[in-house]
Homo-oligomer: A and B are copies of this chain.
Amino acid sequence: MDFSYTPQEEEFRAELRAWLKENLPPGWLEGNHKLPEDPKEEEAFLRAWQHKLADGHWAGVSWPKEYGGRGASLIEQVIYEEEMARVDAPPQVNAIGIGMIGPTIIALGTEEQKKRYVPKILNAEEVWCQGYSEPNAGSDLAALTTRATLEGDHWVVNGQKIWTSYAHLADRCFLLLRTKENPQNKHDGLTCLLVDMHQPGVEPRPIHQMNDHRDFNETFFNNAIVPKDEVLGEVNNGWYAAVVLLSFERVSVANVAFRLQQAYDGLLAYCKRHERNGRPLIQDPLVRNRLAGYHARVHAAKLNFYRNLTRQIKTGRPGPEGSMDKLYCSELLKELNGYAVSLQGAQGELWQDAEEEGKWQEEYLSSFAMTIAGGTSEIQKNIIAERMLGLPKDIKY
């Protein structure tokens, strides 16, 4: 057991810190972390940031060097997440392309596909989205019904996806759909297509979310066209490619664990600064007790993740432990943000006009998605039960 970093890892961290100091958007290090409100300006801002990251080789640190990455180890990837969380860096508009789709193309794509797509991902020249969920296929993903039929030298796609992040900005979509009707097993007959979003048959419609954002979309495919060879992996064996893609999510939960720590530190600072009934909140015995309890639970989020990481490094593969990290971190973050709003007393019911510019309200409202998106807490529990504890699967109906 050893919680220290190697000199090489510390150097990686130092290099990143130095780069961030130079390259974060103006005012960012001074605490102004607002994105432009105008959607067009926001998009330009994010694409520029992504481009800058790519130029510094800080866009896809896990990518092989030959593709513009740094071939970073798992631990370096985690250091990367930690540092980016520490400065609350702007999001990568092409996060899905970089985190999951690019690596999947590198792993399973043809040489032609690799040449065509991979170089344009890191710098956001082409932004990608991922089309998995459908209105009637959420937790039960394999029940999806969006379908493609081969007509001559192209696929014709019809159906509807939902929760496609950034689809409204995306140039391309990694689309999981059905190419064989009535298969014996519903995981059969699925295929992954690489779809051009800039065509008449594709229409993303932003979803208005409870936090008043519109990051997710419904995406409608109405006779959309995909060249025949734009299949990733094998036709009718798309479930495999879909699972490979998800396996690249392995360090993304690190980000949540670090955000938890940031949130906790911020809440602590708030409680030291703000008074209630004539004394700092932190001196209220109930507040003090609860924050001390969170001390352990927040620290444990990182520790749990580090244990999982160690296991991954030793075994060379991700595992169901990732579900435990996701479950633990997302539930705790939601709880912590709710508590932060409560601590503001009656003024907590404000939103943009609340204390600290409504940051806690923003986080609170956003955190409801965390226990749902990317697999609900209930689905995570099933995975943990079945794969870590060997409990029986839910009935196959």
Contacts and interface: CB of A to CB of B under 8 A. Distances in A.
Contacts of A286: 285-286, 289
A389 interface: no
Sort chain A's interface into a size bin: under 10
Contacts of A397: 395
Interface in A274-311: 284-286, 289
A279 to B, nearest CB: 12
A316 B93 CA distance: 64
A294 to B, nearest CB: 15
Nearest to A394: B395
Interface string A46-57: 000000000000
A286 B286 CA distance: 6
Contacts of A285: 284-286
Nearest to A285: B285
Nearest to A290: B286
A397 to B, nearest CB: 8
A232 to B, nearest CB: 37
Most buried by B among A284, A286, A397: A286
Nearest to A284: B285
Contacts of A395: 395, 397
Interface in A3-42: none
A284 B288 CA distance: 13
A286 B289 CA distance: 8
A153 B320 CA distance: 62
A286 B397 CA distance: 48
Contacts of A289: 286
A286 B284 CA distance: 10
A289 to B, nearest CB: 6
Nearest to A289: B286
7 tightest Cβ-Cβ pairs between the two chains A and B: A285-B285, A395-B395, A286-B289, A285-B286, A286-B286, A395-B397, A284-B285
Interface of A: 284-286, 289, 395, 397
7 contacts: A284-B285, A285-B285, A285-B286, A286-B286, A286-B289, A395-B395, A395-B397
